[in-house]
Amino acid sequence: MEASMLVYDPSVPMHKMPPGAAVPSEMIDFNVLLPHDYDAFYPIYFMIQKDGELWCEHRCEEVERTKEGAKRIGTSWEAPVEGLYFYKFCTKKADGTVIDETPVFQQTVYKNSFMTPAWLRGAIMYQIFPDRFRRSGKTPLPEQKKNWILRENWGEDPVAGPDESGIVRNNDFFGGDLKGIEEALPYFLELGVSVIYLNPIFQAYSNHRYDTADYETIDPLLGTEEDFTQLCRSAKERGIRIVLDGVFNHTGSHSRYFNKDGAFDSLGAYQNKASQFYNWYSFTSWPDDYACWWGIDTLPNLQEENPEVLDFMIRNENSVVARWLRAGASGFRLDVADELPDGFLDALRIRVKEIDPEACIIGEVWEDASNKISYSARRRYLIGDQLDTVMNYPLKDGILNFLTGAESGIQFAGRITALREHYPKPAFMTLMNILGTHDTPRLRTVLTGDNTDNEGKERLFSALMIWAFMPGMASIYYGDEIGMEGGADPMNRRCFQPSQADAEIKTYYKNLLTFRQEIVALKNMELTAIQGEDTFFGFSRESDREEVRILIHRGASVLEKTCGRMPDKILKSGAVSVNEGKVRMDGPCCAALYFRKV
């Protein structure tokens, strides 16, 4: 079939109004534009289906004719219930033969009651890998029934790769602790941080602690429960909230629940079928053949919908979730959310919001979370029953791909437009916007690549300008703000050493985040005017009274963009000048941000 002559773009108001996701019973106008020479001998239909159900058709009517003679034809529709819907326009003969049709588009419909914590909007988040952030020297070294190494020299490279037995043990520790994080609270205030996200802090075998050994105990190398409570109190006094990493899909094989190595005084599932924890796990052939996360035998999978697991983690009066929320946590980032079944996520939201309606639930989802299919099942993370919001990996990927030339500005603009169109507004405005995490190579390393350090910094500054002004939280992975470098795990988890900060990068972060905080209304501004060309990307944030415009040009040529009257404030990187109502960018990697009162 040839390209459709039915012109439709859901991001354009004349085609769809209101834009984006909707709630049940909200009326939406859908309209296609027909060229003036379009021979409409056959009727045009608006076709829509709820995910997995049959298509419903609505015959379109003419809405208006443009000055150029084109017709706008469409219909109005309201969703009866929340869910994921797909729609298209088509021209059909009386016998049902389709003559012309548009691509299929997505319409998300979320619950009227769906709300997300207001404190997430526009926040600056700081992610910490606890063992590598700061060592206070005040936490006594514990005796532990495991094979571990204490690294005396802070800042040396972590042990990488397998040992002589071919095993990656992740058992070298540098001694970062909770008291060290508490000591750094004034530093976070200087950055404007209002949320600290901690990678796992419960007792575990490894230094990453995603192999939980005891959900009810702080890892003794990090401190005590009182240390955690004190950290939350001290942070709260400064207007900072603490978010924990919730690792609920699997435990460690070295744990009081599985106890493969017999290190705990409990009777573990590996040791005896009579264990109270036996039914928490899935054994094909007990004891050595069991389900584990991505085939890693030190991470045995939990049966999350087992009533005993649900009770322990969520439903009991002093469940894991309840215990740590009451101890001072303000919510959870859910590790591998795709691996958590709907029943678990439904129960989790109910309990978390029951204890603290303002607590957050952030999911680790690497793709578009609104339409994710995981293990052959469509997920409903953002309809209103499960997550508040998600980590924004699509934004990270788009920024890095665009600035390294792997993606055009047109593609990047399409990526961001799709997120705005697909995500419920409560989730979209609170997205956890990342440029790097403990699972990805360091931002500076990726953007420098084989280029010079100066070229890498120009790309970095452009990336930061996009990241800092997108709707949602700006999440900093510890050390990125001082220019830390590192490839894949574990070199992206080196020790934080502020004395070795790159002064230029540190200053840029500070100036950019200060600029961001000065625009008080930014957290509620709409994302508008998303534009892309081959080597250009731009967008705006707007309110009734203020406008922020970001322009990025990665190419080597000169590019000019109209900006109208002189901005009230401007921040720029690279060869950028503003004159006579135009922004001139003489590439490569130029970035301009201007703010003005409307």
Question: In this predicted model, what pLDDT tens digit does every residue of 140-170 receive, in sequence order?
Answer: 999 999 999 999 999 999 999 999 999 999 9
What whole-number distance in Å separates Cα of residue 459 and Cα of residue 453?
A: 10
- Give the per-residue pLDDT at 5: 83
- Give the per-residue pLDDT at 40: 60
Question: Rounded mean pLDDT of 187-196?
Answer: 98
Question: Rounded mean pLDDT of 584-594?
Answer: 92
Does the residue 126 lie in any domain? no
Strand partners, 107: 85
- Give the per-residue pLDDT at 37: 65
One-character DSSP codes across 83-150: EEEEEEEEEE-TT--EEEEPPPEEEEE--TT----GGGTT-EEEEE-GGGT---S-SPPPP-SS--EE
Question: Rounded mean pLDDT of 327-355?
Answer: 98
What is the three-class DSSP state of 550? Answer: strand
- Give the per-residue pLDDT at 301: 98
What order of strands is seen across the sheet that includes strand 71-78?
16-17, 27-34, 71-78, 61-65
Does the residue 270 lie in any domain? yes
- Give the per-residue pLDDT at 39: 61
Instruction: Kindly report the CATH number assigned to the domain that includes residue 557.
Output: 2.60.40.1180
Q: Residue 532's domain spans which residues?
A: 525-597
231 contacts: CB under 8 Å, gap ≥ 6: 178, 179, 181, 182, 242, 328
Report how far apart the first and last C-alpha atoms of the chain are (Å, whole number).
Answer: 46
Does the residue 374 lie in any domain? no
Instruction: Kindly report the CATH number assigned to the domain that includes residue 87.
Output: 2.60.40.10
Does the residue 71 lie in any domain? yes
Does the residue 457 lie in any domain? no
Question: In this predicted model, what pLDDT tens digit does every residue of 196-243 receive, in sequence order?
Answer: 999 999 999 999 999 999 999 999 999 999 999 999 999 999 999 999
Q: Which of 109, 134, 167 is the last residue of a domain?
A: 109
Residue 66: both structure tokens together: 């443009």
Question: In this predicted model, what pLDDT tens digit does every residue of 47-91 receive, in sequence order?
Answer: 999 999 999 999 999 888 877 777 889 999 999 999 999 999 999
Question: In this predicted model, what pLDDT tens digit does every residue of 483-493 receive, in sequence order?
Answer: 999 999 999 99
Residue 258 pLDDT exceeds 60: yes
Does the residue 178 lie in any domain? no
What whole-number distance in Å separates Cα of residue 553 and Cα of residue 539?
A: 12
Question: In this predicted model, what pLDDT tens digit does every residue of 444-455 receive, in sequence order?
Answer: 999 999 999 999
**What stretch of H or E contains 320?**
helix 320-326
Q: What mean pLDDT, rounded, does the chain reach? A: 95
Concerning whether 458 is annotated as a catalytic residue, the answer is no
Q: Which of 364, 458, 481, 485 is catalytic?
A: 364
- Give the per-residue pLDDT at 2: 63
One-character DSSP codes across 330-395: -EEEETTGGGS-HHHHHHHHHHHHHH-TT-EEEE--SS-TTS-EETTEE--TTTTTS-SEEB-HHH
Contact present, 76 and 29 (Cβ < 8 Å): yes
Please state the domain count of the chain. Answer: 3
Residue type at 313 in one-letter notation: M
- Give the per-residue pLDDT at 567: 87
Residue 4 pLDDT exceeds 80: no
- Give the per-residue pLDDT at 557: 92
What whole-number distance in Å separates Cα of residue 138 and Cα of residue 597?
A: 50
Cα angle for residues 200, 201, 206 (degrees, 5° grid): 75
Residue type at 161 in one-letter notation: G
Q: What would you measure as the largest C-alpha separation in the chain, in angstroms?
A: 83
**What stretch of H or E contains 460?**
helix 453-469
Does the residue 579 lie in any domain? yes
Residue 134 pLDDT exceeds 60: yes
Residue 197: both structure tokens together: 């996200």
- Give the per-residue pLDDT at 241: 98
What whole-number distance in Å separates Cα of residue 412 and Cα of residue 49?
A: 28
Residue 1 pLDDT exceeds 60: no
Residue 170: both structure tokens together: 């992740």
Does the residue 590 lie in any domain? yes
Q: Which of 91, 109, 127 is the last residue of a domain?
A: 109
- Give the per-residue pLDDT at 267: 98
Q: Is the peptide bond before 490 cis (omega within 30 degrees of 0)?
A: yes
Q: Which of 177, 211, 335, 480 is catalytic?
A: 335
Concerning whether 547 is annotated as a catalytic residue, the answer is no
430 contacts: CB under 8 Å, gap ≥ 6: 116, 117, 120, 121, 360, 388, 389, 472, 473
Q: Which of 64, 88, 109 is the last residue of a domain?
A: 109
